[in-house]
A and B are shown apart, each in its own frame.
Chain A
Amino acid sequence: MFCEKAMELVRELHRAPEGQLPAFNVREDAEDGLRQVLEEMKALYEQNQSDVNEVKSGGRSDLIPTIKFRHCSLLRNRRCAVAYLYDRLLRIRALRWEYGSVLPNALRFHMSAEEVEWFNHYKKSLATYMRSLGGDEGLDITQDMKPPKSLYIEHFLPRWKCEQLVRQGVLEHVLS
């Protein structure tokens, strides 16, 4: 059935847990998921071209439903392929925020060359934005991902200095 391979690509990502980046579906042999989808699209298109000619010159209007059906398959193939590629980009984007601008090698091997290029453009764009935020070096918003944990700072201070602040609730006496 048409679009089988395209659906498989989508399913592969759907199965991968949130945030995980499976290896890009490219292998040395012919089992290249994306390439298969593109090949199927080429075949469908060529069949449609020839049928359209038949309809125009040979009056074969009975071919029209098939032409429409192939066109739907073409659209579906494109939609699945774009969804697969775009979803991967989103996962790669998340890696910048998780791991910083240098990705661990293991992850990089799961990315195609074009994905690595996208990632490099993305992190450059992000760096430019952060630098523009003012001050000397801008603001690194990939830091401070969690609210500051220490509401209380451990300090060794003479009690008389702190007592008033403890009463005001600004400081807490931590016994550890």
Chain B
Amino acid sequence: MTEELDHTGQDSDADSEEVVLTPAELIEKLEQAWMNEKFAPELLESKSEIVECVMEQLDHMEENLRRAKKGDLKVSIHRMEMERIRYVLSSYLRCRLMKIEKFFPHILEKEKTSGEGELSSLSPEELVFAKQYMANTETYLKNVALKHMPPNLQVVDLLRSAVPKPDLDSYVFLRVKERQENILVEPETDEQRDYVIDLEEGSQHLIRYKTIAPLVASGAVQLI
């Protein structure tokens, strides 16, 4: 359906990929990012370019619909498609916000200590949101309880006490997109030993997230 839109191909962000995606490819990338984010226990890399392009796409579709003939069947179908895309995008962004709120001290700490070249897991707007969330919560706890406590107990290291870390040992389902060799699987118990597996293209696995986290980031596997 989206191939029928009469506008020229997508212009990705100037400073990222030079690849120009068709609308269909863009939506596929959005859905992949959405599923990965849904099933990964930790916050994944920010995909701002995809979000921006999809928002643009939705604007284009809205404009096309305004110009189209009323009552034309195409209008309903395009509107349906728009609702679907909007749902996936909203769900994706909601999922990220929830993880940001859930793990905020650890995420903010990682942002602070991450190097220049490393990809951020937060978009600039998400970073602002996360910092505000942290400041809001710290101020609240300080004013309501902590400042009334004995002097040596007034600082709570939120990183270590109140907020748990994401469980990277949780199991995830994945499908292999690019063949991988010699993936080291660490033992869960002391009796087991490390072993090495190959991941064949197209195969599906249930595996500990920590083992394959870099492959999710690189796009070699898709969480399902």
**Which A residues are within 8 Å of any B CB, using their own CB?**
34, 38, 41-42, 45, 74-75, 78-79, 81-83, 85-86, 89, 93, 112, 114-115, 117-118, 121-122, 125-126, 128-129, 132-135, 139-141, 143-148, 150-151, 153, 155, 157, 161-162, 165, 170
Contacts and interface: CB of A to CB of B under 8 A. Distances in A.
B77 A85 contact: no
Contacts, number: 111
Nearest to A126: B129
21 contacts: A41-B150, A45-B150, A74-B150, A78-B149, A78-B153, A83-B162, A85-B145, A86-B137, A86-B141, A115-B140, A132-B125, A134-B56, A139-B86, A139-B90, A141-B93, A141-B94, A144-B90, A147-B87, A148-B83, A153-B80, A165-B73
A35 to B, nearest CB: 9
Contact of B145 (A81, A133, A145, A146): A81
A125 B101 CA distance: 12
Contacts of B126: 129
Nearest to B129: A129
Nearest to A86: B162
Nearest to B150: A45
B101 A93 contact: yes
Given A141-B93, A157-B73, A134 B52 contact: yes
A79 B161 contact: yes
A133 B150 contact: no
Interface in B25-73: 51-52, 55-56, 58-59, 73
B132 A148 contact: no
A154 to B, nearest CB: 10
Contacts of A150: 80
B163 to A, nearest CB: 8
Interface of B: 51-52, 55-56, 58-59, 73, 76-77, 80, 83-84, 86-87, 89-91, 93-94, 97, 101, 125-126, 128-129, 132-133, 136-137, 140-141, 143-145, 148-150, 153, 156, 161-162
Contacts of B144: 34, 85, 112, 114
Given A82-B162, A118-B136, A170 B150 contact: no
B141 A85 contact: yes
A81 to B, nearest CB: 5
A134 B13 CA distance: 14
A147 B161 CA distance: 37
Contact of B161 (A82, A141, A145): A82
A101 B174 CA distance: 38
A38 B149 contact: yes
The listed residue with most A CB atoms (<10 A of its CB), out of B58, B91, B144, B161, is: B144
B90 A89 contact: no
